[in-house]
Amino acid sequence: GQNIDQPTEMTATEGAIVQINCTYQTSGFNGLFWYQQHAGEAPTFLSYNVLDGLEEKGRFSSFLSRSKGYSYLLLKELQMKDSASYLCAVSDSNYQLIWGAGTKLIIKP
């Protein structure tokens, strides 16, 4: 079957750095997406990786290793507004998005 694993919850301090991991086992791979979802709102797109390596976008970076079935989202200079759930999604061989359960990130002052 298809499976995506993320930690359920993480806690970090304002101004610090946090890394949210995602491992996947899917039938085929056509890219990995990270989304941010604040409580009660729809997800918003953060990043897309299809080749191995690091993609940097401001305070957020996303890394992919296809051979390991592994990705992480790195958030730097954490702000209180970064408190949200972070969803990892993989596009499989049929381009269907397979969603992880999400990681709830709690930022403390």
Partner 1 sequence: GAVVSQHPSWVICKSGTSVKIECRSLDFQATTMFWYRQFPKQSLMLMATSNEGSKATYEQGVEKDKFLINHASLTLSTLTVTSAHPEDSSFYICSARLRENTEAFFGQGTRLTVV
* The two three-digit tokens of residue 53, written as one number: 């390596």
Task: Tell me the sheet residues that pair with 101.
Answer: none
97 touches partner 1 by CB under 8 A: yes
Residue 46 backbone dihedrals phi, psi, to 5 degrees? -110, -50
Residue whose CB is less far from partner 1, 42 or 80: 42
40 touches partner 1 by CB under 8 A: yes
Question: Of the listed pieces 12-20, 39-47, 55-63, 65-73, which binds partner 1 according to CB under 8 A?
Answer: 39-47
With the C-alpha atoms ordered 4, 90, 85, 59, is the resulting torsion angle positive or negative? positive
Q: Are 105 and 86 in contact (CB under 8 A)?
A: yes
* The two three-digit tokens of residue 77, written as one number: 């200079």
99 touches partner 1 by CB under 8 A: yes
Task: Tell me the sheet residues that pair with 61.
Answer: 56, 74
Question: Of the listed pieces 10-18, 65-73, 75-83, 84-92, which binds partner 1 according to CB under 8 A?
Answer: 84-92
The distance of closest approach from Cβ of residue 23 to partner 1 in the complex, given in angstroms and rounded to an integer, is 15
Binding site for partner 1 (CB under 8 A): 30-31, 33, 40-45, 48, 50, 87, 89, 91, 95-97, 99-102, 104
